[in-house]
């Protein structure tokens, strides 16, 4: 053995789900960057910056974050790609378009059996869980929540837009790939004969 030998590194491992969703984002015209300074934000010039793993919650994933942000883009309108943070005012009050985004996210995830896997991890999880527990249809107003008529109307419009370019083909392919990866990994996650973990590492 040569004592002066130094191994050259030619490859870098990446999470397969990240590769899928980074690629989907590029197909939709979005560049992904990571920074410890943000949770998620856009610059209005086609770059979506996500937090680095150590700054995010344990159940965050690039797949969920990118899907959520793309749903914001679809809900807020095609032109908001060219507005920072999809046109949301910085440090503004709550905007009910957030709930329309969550409805769209749930509908798209449901099509591939991924609602729990791709659930949001922020405080808006309360609305997501209420929507799930209510028994309401995905496009029915949720009792007790404000602006639900507007939320449902906008979610319905966004759902139709989600089929269009640049979103439709890339989103469908990424969700299909996510479902296949999840199905491949799930059998290996059972603990002591119990139910398999919903997310990697739990």
Strands 47-51 and 40-42: antiparallel
Order of all β-strands in the sheet with 31-35: 31-35, 47-51, 40-42
Nearest-5° Cα angle at 155, 109 to 57 = 45
pLDDT in tens, 57-105: 888 999 999 999 999 999 999 999 999 999 988 677 778 999 999 999 9
Neighbouring residues of 98: CB distance < 8 A, sequence distance ≥ 6: 124, 127
Note whether residue 8 is domain-resident. no
Is 10 domain-assigned? Answer: no
Count of structural domains within the chain: 1
| Domain extent at residue 107 | 16-183
Neighbours of 22 (CB within 10 A): 20
Q: Judging by beta carbons within 10 Å of its beta carbon (0-12, 13-18, 19+), is residue 74 exposed, middle or buried?
A: buried
**Structural domain includes residue 4:** no
Q: Is residue 3 part of a domain?
A: no
Q: Is residue 111 part of a domain?
A: yes
- Residues 6+ away with beta carbon under 8 Å from 179: 112, 113, 114
Q: Can you give the pLDDT of all 202 residues of the chain as single tens digits?
A: 899 999 999 999 999 999 999 999 999 999 999 999 998 999 999 999 999 999 998 889 999 999 999 999 999 999 999 999 999 886 777 789 999 999 999 999 999 999 999 999 888 899 999 998 998 888 999 999 999 999 999 999 999 999 999 999 999 999 999 999 999 988 887 666 565 566 655 4
Please report whether residue 21 resides in a domain.
yes
């Amino acid at each position: 053995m040569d004592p002066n030998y130094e191994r050259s590194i030619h490859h870098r491992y990446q999470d397969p789900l990240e590769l899928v969703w980074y690629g989907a984002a590029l197909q939709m015209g979005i560049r992904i960057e990571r920074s410890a300074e943000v949770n998620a934000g856009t610059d209005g010039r086609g770059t979506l910056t996500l937090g680095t793993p150590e700054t995010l919650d344990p159940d965050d994933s690039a797949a969920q974050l990118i899907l959520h942000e793309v749903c914001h883009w679809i809900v807020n309108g095609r032109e908001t790609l060219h507005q920072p943070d999809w046109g949301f005012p910085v440090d503004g009050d709550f905007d009910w378009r957030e709930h329309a985004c969550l409805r769209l996210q749930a509908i798209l995830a449901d099509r591939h059996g991924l609602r729990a896997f791709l659930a949001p991890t922020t405080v808006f999880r309360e609305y997501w869980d209420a929507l799930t527990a209510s028994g309401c249809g995905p496009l029915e107003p949720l009792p007790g929540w404000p602006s639900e008529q507007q939320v449902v109307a906008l979610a319905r419009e966004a759902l139709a837009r989600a089929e269009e370019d640049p979103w439709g083909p890339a989103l469908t392919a990424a969700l299909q790939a996510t479902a296949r990866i999840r199905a491949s990994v799930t059998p290996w996650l059972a603990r002591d004969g119990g139910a398999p973990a919903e997310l990697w590492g739990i």
